[in-house]
Chains A and B, each alone.
Chain A
Amino acid sequence: MKLVYFASVREAIGLSSEDRDIPYGARTVGDFVVWLRGQSQGHAVALDDLSRLRFALDQNMVTADALLVDGEELAIFPPVTGG
């Protein structure tokens, strides 16, 4: 799955995107994000608090309990601050 990161999440991880296979047993967006914490110190810092993160699966906003099935792109970012 393609992972894309924005704003403070992108900076903490040090990447704007990466490809990762969905780990065995991960069914939801939240499962995947919790697993990603173990991938580097930057991931651990950026993804520490699920309640302060927002997610989009194939460009549609979803919550952490959304199922990963059939998704191609998961975006992880802080709450939006446009306007």
Chain B
Amino acid sequence: MKKVRISNTPITTEAELSTLAGIGGGALSSFTGIVRDDGGVTAIELEHYPSMTEACLSRVIEAATARWSLLGAVVTHRVGIVPVGDPVVVVGAASLHRAEALEATAFLIDRLKTDAPFWKREHYADGTAKWVEAKLSDDTRSERWA
């Protein structure tokens, strides 16, 4: 079971993982990214490259399933305006035992951060907004899977 979903409405970890939870493995691991109140941020706005995004995320899932023995994997990403406290991304992996699911989950989010065509803009209480700069530490984390 492999699933990629781009949502312009609110998402929940539980709903995104429900299929994986019932797949029959002994292990389900996930990561949820949540919008942080970083120095007055009220919301983030996510832009993406629609004709590229799904294919790109599917390739990340394919790479994970080629590397680990998984029963399934999901990636769901929000686009549009996401307020502080709301999930922006959910990735999950199911396997027979924990090691595969745990490692695949880290791989999925690390690769998503450097490979998938999304851009974040922070919105502040005073009405201003600023594009988020890419972090070198994200490249380093992604490269450790090479």
Contacts and interface: CB of A to CB of B under 8 A. Distances in A.
Q: Are A and B interaction partners?
A: yes
A82 B55 contact: no
Interface residues of B, number: 28
B119 interface: yes
Contacts, number: 69
Given A80-B116, A83-B109, A83-B113, A7 B131 contact: yes
Query: Secondary structure at chain B's binding surface: helix, strand, loop or mixed?
Result: mixed
Contacts of A78: 119, 131, 134
A81 B118 contact: yes
Instruction: Please tell me the size bucket of the interface on A.
Output: 10 to 19
Nearest to A7: B119
Interface string B5-33: 00000000000000000000000000001
A61 B46 CA distance: 19
Interface of B: 33, 46-49, 51-52, 55-56, 77, 88-89, 109, 112-121, 131-134, 138
Given A75-B49, A77-B117, 6 more contacts: A6-B49, A7-B47, A77-B119, A78-B131, A79-B134, A80-B134
